[in-house]
């Protein structure tokens, strides 16, 4: 029990049994370590680690160097669905599964920095138990969110099963210490808001002389056509794209008039709002000290599209704060990401990018102790984070190593490569766990 007792407890057979952890060193296998030739480009990381072995022992072995230093842990453990999958077995007795996860998460927690975050990817098989378990280890007050990730659609053989078709997984998000936690603000791209349908024609004039014209008319004038010919000029799909580009190029000129109640604005603004009713068809301004000024017209508030735009992936877009519903990340091309096939386990690079954007900065340490095909390491490398991957199966050598080599070589152009502007570089060291005195090998 680490996170502070709440009087509630999940019990399972064998809960009080603890593994005896014998100290095991990490031994580098230089044949498998890899480094891009040439000097390090700024923001490219070399000091990364791949560890082949059971993560229980690896997490223990990492304590000496990394306790309190990891900024973000993302894990995607076997969901305990009872299936035997191509690369790993996914079904152990529930108590055994819970005990194993508890032992590993306690070690993981010790590796986290005071301002660090944990993300656990899970489906509904163990979801309820896992939340209670993590509340016990991290403290309920440090549970930040449970995000829902849309990982498939209603199609294929499972759509014929009776009952609800499962299309979602969950991401449990915990802070090591909520008081020290400093998340980044993340925005997602959303479609253009069509209620902003007016354009300030003479924007360089004083605001009291501004003339509003329909956005459609302004777009048509920009392209030298009549408004009625816009559809013909751009085609059905192309027209919306043209609107979007037009609006995002000068969002401070795109507005809508919205109802506002006098009680919702300060006293000075109330008078200006009233004046806008009395002197119509003119824009009236009420200045504010620390916030954007109010603008009113005809008893309504003038809202500017600029307030709806955010930088998303380095480009101005219509943006919205990230919510707990992650239904925009499903990738049709996930099978090809990283150039390795990892049926049923591989997660989209865009998902890991989102996790790292939320919780880390360039140079921070990221850990994934259920590495699978190495998605977390690949994305961390592309985003200039330092990373540690642990994987016990053969995929550590057949998938993780070649995937990370191609990221470093710059030949992996899949996943988030383009959007983060990754060109290659960096390196990693490959380690195995030294055998304890009594065991025949290091696995
Ligand atoms: C669902 S997969 C992770 C997939 C990964 N997120 C990706 O995108 O490729 C879970 C992985 O955890 C590994 N694993 C399970 N138990 C482990 C253990 N005790 N130590 C290390 N790895 C383990 C499995 O071999 C499997 O590759």
Helices and strands in the chain, H and E counts: 12, 22
Q: What is the pLDDT of residue 252?
A: 98
Which DSSP state fits 396?
I
| Sign of the torsion angle spanned by Cα atoms 390, 395, 397, 401 | negative
- 60 within ligand 1 shell (Cβ under 6 A): no
Rounded distance, CA 411 to CA 394, Å? 23
> At residue 88, does pLDDT exceed 70?
no
Give tens-digit pLDDT for 320-377: 999 999 999 987 789 999 999 998 899 999 999 999 999 999 999 999 999 999 999 9
Give tens-digit pLDDT for 203-228: 999 999 999 999 999 999 999 999 99
Mode of pairing for the β-strands spanning 34-35 and 427-433: antiparallel
Instruction: State the pLDDT confidence band at 84, using cuts at 50, 70 and 90.
Output: low
- 76 within ligand 1 shell (Cβ under 6 A): yes
Q: How far is the CA of 75 from the centre of ligand 1 (A)?
A: 8
Pocket perturbation via mutation, ligand 1, pick of 77, 338, 377 by most ligand atoms within 8 A of CB: 77
Q: What is the mean pLDDT of the chain?
A: 93
**DSSP codes, 316-360:** EEEEEE--SEE-S---TTGGGGGG---TTT---HHHHHHHHHHH-
Q: What is the pLDDT of residue 51?
A: 98
Beta bridge partners of 147: 171
Rounded distance, CA 415 to CA 348, Å? 7
- 349 within ligand 1 shell (Cβ under 6 A): no
Stretch 392-412: mean pLDDT = 97
Atom 19 of ligand 1, nearest CA residue: 54
**Helix boundaries (H) for 74-184:** 94-111, 127-138
Q: How far is the CA of 371 from the centre of ligand 1 (A)?
A: 5
- 354 within ligand 1 shell (Cβ under 6 A): no
Q: What is the pLDDT of residue 326?
A: 97
Q: What is the pLDDT of residue 55?
A: 97
Pocket perturbation via mutation, ligand 1, pick of 81, 88, 347 by most ligand atoms within 8 A of CB: 88
Q: What is the pLDDT of residue 442?
A: 46
Its pTM stands at 0.91
Q: How far is the CA of 374 from the centre of ligand 1 (A)?
A: 9
**Helix boundaries (H) for 267-314:** 267-278
User: Which is more confidently placed, 125 or 74?
Assistant: 74
Give tens-digit pLDDT for 145-192: 999 999 988 888 878 888 999 999 999 999 999 999 999 999 999 999
Q: What is the pLDDT of residue 47?
A: 92
- 53 within ligand 1 shell (Cβ under 6 A): no
User: Quick one: which atom of ligand 1 is closest to the CA of 399?
Assistant: 9
Q: What percent of the chain has pLDDT over 70?
A: 95
Give tens-digit pLDDT for 15-45: 999 999 988 999 999 999 999 987 777 888 8
111-123 burial: b if 16+ Cβ within 10 Å, else e: bbbebbbbbbbbb
> At residue 1, does pLDDT exceed 70?
no
Q: What is the pLDDT of residue 281?
A: 95
Q: How far is the CA of 372 from the centre of ligand 1 (A)?
A: 4
- 196 within ligand 1 shell (Cβ under 6 A): no
What are phi and psi for residue 306, nearest 5 degrees? Answer: -55, -35
Q: What is the pLDDT of residue 256?
A: 98
- 391 within ligand 1 shell (Cβ under 6 A): yes
Q: What is the pLDDT of residue 330?
A: 82
Instruction: State the pLDDT confidence band at 93, using cuts at 50, 70 and 90.
Output: confident
Which domains, and CATH codes, for the chain?
A: 26-186+322-433 (3.40.50.150), 198-312 (no CATH)
Rounded distance, CA 282 to CA 75, Å? 57
């Amino acid at each position: 029990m680490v996170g502070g007792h709440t009087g509630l407890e999940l019990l399972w057979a064998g809960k009080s049994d603890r593994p005896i952890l014998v100290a095991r060193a990490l031994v580098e296998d230089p044949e498998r370590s890899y480094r891009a030739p040439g000097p390090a480009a700024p923001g490219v990381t070399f000091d990364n680690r791949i560890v082949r072995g059971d993560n229980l022992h690896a997490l223990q072995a990492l304590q000496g160097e990394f306790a309190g230093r990891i900024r973000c842990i993302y894990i995607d453990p076997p969901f305990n669905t009872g299936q035997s999958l191509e690369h790993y077995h996914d079904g152990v007795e529930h108590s055994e599964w819970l005990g194993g996860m508890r032992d590993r998460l306690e070690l993981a927690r010790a590796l986290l920095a005071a301002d660090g975050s944990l993300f656990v990817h899970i489906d509904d098989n163990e979801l309820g138990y896992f939340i209670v378990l993590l509340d016990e280890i991290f403290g309920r007050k440090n549970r930040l969110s449970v995000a829902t990730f849309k990982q498939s659609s209603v199609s294929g053989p499972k759509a014929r099963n009776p009952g609800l078709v499962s299309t979602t997984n969950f991401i449990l998000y915990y802070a090591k210490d909520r008081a020290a936690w400093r998340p980044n603000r993340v925005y997602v791209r959303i479609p253009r808001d069509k209620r902003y349908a007016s354009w300030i024609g003479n924007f360089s004039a004083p605001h009291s002389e501004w003339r509003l014209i329909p956005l459609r008319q302004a777009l048509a004038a920009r392209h030298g056509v009549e408004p009625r010919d816009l559809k013909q000029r751009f085609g059905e799909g192309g027209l919306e794209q043209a609107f979007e580009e037009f609006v995002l190029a000068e969002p401070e000129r795109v507005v809508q008039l919205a109802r506002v109640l006098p009680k919702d604005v300060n006293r000075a603004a109330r008078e200006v709002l009233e004046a806008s009713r009395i002197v119509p068809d003119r824009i009236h301004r009420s200045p504010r000290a620390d916030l954007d000024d109010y603008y009113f017209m005809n008893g309504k508030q003038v809202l500017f599209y600029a307030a709806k735009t955010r930088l998303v992936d380095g480009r101005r877009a219509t943006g919205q704060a990230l919510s707990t519903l992650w239904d925009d990340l499903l990738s049709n091309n996930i099978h090809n990401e990283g150039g390795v096939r990892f049926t049923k386990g591989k997660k989209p690079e865009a998902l890991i990018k989102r996790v790292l954007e939320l919780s880390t900065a360039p140079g921070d340490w990221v850990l994934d102790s259920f590495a699978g095909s190495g998605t977390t390491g690949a994305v961390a490398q592309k985003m200039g984070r330092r990373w540690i991957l642990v994987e016990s199966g053969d995929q550590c050598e057949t998938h993780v190593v070649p995937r990370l080599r191609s990221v470093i070589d710059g030949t992996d152009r899949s996943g988030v490569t383009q959007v983060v502007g990754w060109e290659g570089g960096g390196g990693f060291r490959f380690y195995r766990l030294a055998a304890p005195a009594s065991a025949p090998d290091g696995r």
